[in-house]
């Protein structure tokens, strides 16, 4: 699975945090990515590669709709977005 995130920044920001999470299982979010980045003014794009989960009793992931959430955090400000994906068995 390739996760791509793009957004516009009004100015440069040092040490911003990007968080990506989602695809809930019985135990926790299957995907949990944190990365510290320097943002530049204008368009910023980041890609993350992740092995896609499969539906099974062992992983606790059921088929159906799952949400992926992306956050950009800088100091006390958090911007969030989400996308629904479908996992099939």
> What is the pLDDT at residue 51?
76
Q: pLDDT per residue over 5-38, tens digit each?
A: 888 999 999 999 999 998 877 777 888 899 999 9
| CATH C-level class of 2-87 | mainly beta
pTM to 2 decimal places: 0.77
CB atoms within 10 A of CB 20: 19
Lowest mean pLDDT, pick from 9-18, 44-53, 78-87: 44-53
What burial letters (b/e) apply to 41-70, b meaning 16+ CB within 10 Å?
eeebebeeeeeebeeeeeeebeeeebebeb
Are the C-beta atoms of residues 72 and 45 closer than 8 Å to each other? no
> What is the pLDDT at residue 36?
96
């Amino acid at each position: 699975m390739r996760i791509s995130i793009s957004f516009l920044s009004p100015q440069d920001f040092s040490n911003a945090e990007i968080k990506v999470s989602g695809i809930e299982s019985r135990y926790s979010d299957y995907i949990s990515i944190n990365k510290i980045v320097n943002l530049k003014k204008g368009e910023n794009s980041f890609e993350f590669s992740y092995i896609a989960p499969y539906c099974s009793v062992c992983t606790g992931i059921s088929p159906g709709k799952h949400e992926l959430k992306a956050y950009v955090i800088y100091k006390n400000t958090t911007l969030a977005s989400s996308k629904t994906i479908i996992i099939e068995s």
